[in-house]
Amino acid sequence: MTTSVFLTVLGAALLHASWNALVKISVDRFLGISIIVFFAGIIATPGLLWVGLPTSASLPWLVLSAVLHTGYCLFLSRSYTTGDLSQVYPIARGCAPLITALLSWLILQERLPSFAILGVGLIIVGIMLIAFPKGKKSIRLDQKTFLAAVITSVFTACYTLSDGVGSRISENALTYIFWMFAINGWLMGVIMYSKYRNTIGKSIRQYWKQGVLGGLMQLLSYGIVIWAMSHAPIVLVATLRETSVLFAMLLSVVILREPFNKMRLLACVVIVAGIIGMKLG
C-alpha cells in the first residue's frame, strides 16, 4: 500500500466516524440512516452524466451491492435502536476486517505479508478493547442486539468484498462509485417512502441539512475506500478503514467529554501499532 493510499484511507476513516455520529439525527435510527443514504444518492446522481454508463461486467456487482448495503442499514439501525452506540459501533466495525480477510483469502487468494497480517490482528484487538473496555462483565448488550451488530459486520465484509471486485472489473472506479451510491440512494428512498409515507416530507424538511452533510461525508469516505481497493489489497484497505472506531472514540472524548480511561489508552496504542504494522507490510 503506497503512502498516498494509506493516508487517504485514514482520512476516509475520519469521515466515516463523523457521518455515523449524524445517525442520531432522529429517534428512529433507520430513518436517520435512510436520510443520509438517500442524500448521498442525490448528490451522486448528477455525477452519472459525467462518468457515463457502467460496464456490463460491473452490473451484477452493483445489484449485489444494493442488496448488501440495504441489509447493512437494516441491521445497523436495529442494533443502534436497543444498544449502546459506544459498544455497537466497534462490534459492527471490528468483526468486519476479520471476515473480509477470510473471504479475500478464500475467494480472491489475496495473501498478505507477515507484518500486514500482524497489523490486521492488532487493529481488530484494539477495536474489541474499545467495545468491551472492562471485560465480559461490562457487556450490557442483550443477545439480539449483539447478534444484530455481528450480522451488520457480516454485511459490511460482504459489501466491501463485492464493491472491491466490482470497482476492479469496472473500466473506471469512479463510474462504479457514482452508480453504486446513486442506486443505493434511490433504493433507500423508495424503502423510506414506503415505510414513512405519512411523515417523510416533514422528516426531510427537518433533517435535510444533516442529511446533506452526512450524505456528502458518506460519499467521500466510502468512495475513497472503493477507489483504494482498486489500488491495494482489499483486506488491508478494509482493516485500515475500521480505524474509524479510534477516531469516533477520540471525537467522543474531545467533543462529548467522555472519560478516557487506561483501557481506552491501551486500545489506542494497540490500534496505532497495528497501523504501523500494516504500513510496514
Tell which wins on pLDDT, 45 or 222: 45
CB atoms within 10 A of CB 74: 17
Q: What is the pLDDT of residues 176-218, one digit of tens each?
A: 999 999 999 999 999 999 988 888 888 888 888 888 988 899 8
CA distance 272 to 247: 11
Which residue's C-alpha cell is 500500500?
1
CA distance 34 to 167: 24
CA distance 19 to 15: 6
What pLDDT does 260 receive? 62
Please report, in angstroms and rounded to a whole number, the separation of the first and last CA atoms in the chain: 8
Per cent of the chain over pLDDT 70 is 78
What pLDDT does 137 receive? 47
What pLDDT does 118 receive? 78
Burial class of residue 281 (count of CB atoms within 10 Å of its CB; 0-12, 13-18, 19+) = middle
Identify whether the C-beta of residue 211 lies closer than 8 Å to the C-beta of residue 36.
Answer: yes
Type of residue found at 58? S
- Specify the DSSP class assigned to residue 54: P
Range(s) of the domain holding residue 230: 3-131+140-280
Mention every residue, 6+ apart, whose C-beta is less than 8 A from residue 66: 180, 183, 184, 187
Residue 256 has pLDDT above 80, yes or no: no
CB atoms within 10 A of CB 24: 12
Identify whether the C-beta of residue 10 lies closer than 8 Å to the C-beta of residue 245.
Answer: no
Q: What is the pLDDT of residues 104-155, one digit of tens each?
A: 777 767 666 777 677 777 777 876 776 665 554 454 556 788 788 889 888 9
What's the domain count of the chain? Answer: 1
- The alpha carbon dihedral of 197, 43, 184, 245 has a sign of negative
Identify whether the C-beta of residue 132 lies closer than 8 Å to the C-beta of residue 68.
Answer: no
CA distance 241 to 257: 24
What pLDDT does 30 receive? 83
Q: What is the pLDDT of residues 174-184, one digit of tens each?
A: 899 999 999 99
Identify whether the C-beta of residue 122 lies closer than 8 Å to the C-beta of residue 274.
Answer: yes
Tell which wins on pLDDT, 234 or 55: 55
Report the mean per-residue pLDDT for the chain: 79
Q: What is the pTM (predicted TM-score) of this model?
A: 0.78
Identify whether the C-beta of residue 156 lies closer than 8 Å to the C-beta of residue 15.
Answer: no
Mean per-residue pLDDT, 53-69: 93
Here the cell at position 235 is: 483486506
